[in-house]
Amino acid sequence: MTTKPVPTAAELLKDSPRNWGRWGAEDEVGSLNFLTSAEVLRGVAAVRQGKTYTLQIPMGKPGGDPVWPGRNQSQRINVMDHGHWLCGKGVEFPGNIEYADDVMFMYLQGSTQYDALGHVWCDDKLYNGYDANTTIGGMSKASVYPLAERGIVGRAVLIDMARHRGKPVLDPGETFTHLDLLAAAEKQRVTIQKHDILIIRTGWIGSFYERDRVEFYKNFVEPGLTYSPELVSWFHEMEIPNLVTDTIANEVTMDPVSGVALPLHIALMSNLGVTFTEICQLDPLAADCAADGQWSFLYVAAPLKVINGSGAPVNPVVIR
């Protein structure tokens, strides 16, 4: 029995569309260019109730946070608190005020976060054709900083794949396509429109807080979108600016057909400039949307302005 060789990402995607140069040789924000002032106003027009939701997971939660396997958990450490004054080591201020200070050590992608467009690449080229050597010592091109400077505001649509399939959380490695998204949207009575920010719920991150940590990470393969030329063409034609999910990688971990790891990071993010927002908590938002049938709304996000960063934490806000 012979095993089919796994192609390189470049071989798998040799005919995939690219937006390199579409917004000029110096562009570093990619498909966020689609979010014009008119698109912001279209998002504002989707607000009907004034309800707000934040999508970030807690940081430094006792028991751990969901992170990509191999990354360390974030650690918050007190460096100043009332104990310092109790033992006579606190700084004396006029008026006898006291204070608390702490620090956090974490991966910049160790919480809900935006990937830089140059975060993943193949064939020594980042988004827009920048040389991979520009990542050495810090990302001088296609870092998260230009995304943070610009901010992300527009109309968003939530597609609840878990609810569509009648389960609280999709199974490990369970896949779906753009056709599944469209079927779920039709069932939800919402239309995915051109330039919409696309939010997909699988239930995966929510399940992290309800299951054994060892079991969550065992043979780690997340559910998610799976690569096909047709799916990439759909994203390209719809000019989707931002993909947001409640998984750690926004796609099934290993493509079940080709065997390539995370091919959509190249096909969508690196080639098309689609920004990726990962590790979101979508369960409360989805429950409210299901209760009243409003699946579109205003989405606002601004990752931290980390110069040369490959990603940065974010707390997106949804206004319904």
Specify the pLDDT at position 244.
98
Q: Domain 15-67+107-319 class?
A: alpha beta
Is residue 132 pLDDT above 90, yes or no? yes
Domain ranges in the chain?
A: 15-67+107-319, 75-105
Three-class SS state of 178: helix
DSSP 45-91: HT--S--EEE-BPPSS-TT-----TTSPPPEEEEEE-HHHHHTT-SP
Give 61-118 pLDDT, tens digit per residue.
Answer: 988 999 999 999 999 999 999 999 999 999 888 999 999 999 999 999 999 999 999 9
> For the whole model, what pTM was predicted?
0.96
Three-class SS state of 32: helix
Three-class SS state of 287: helix
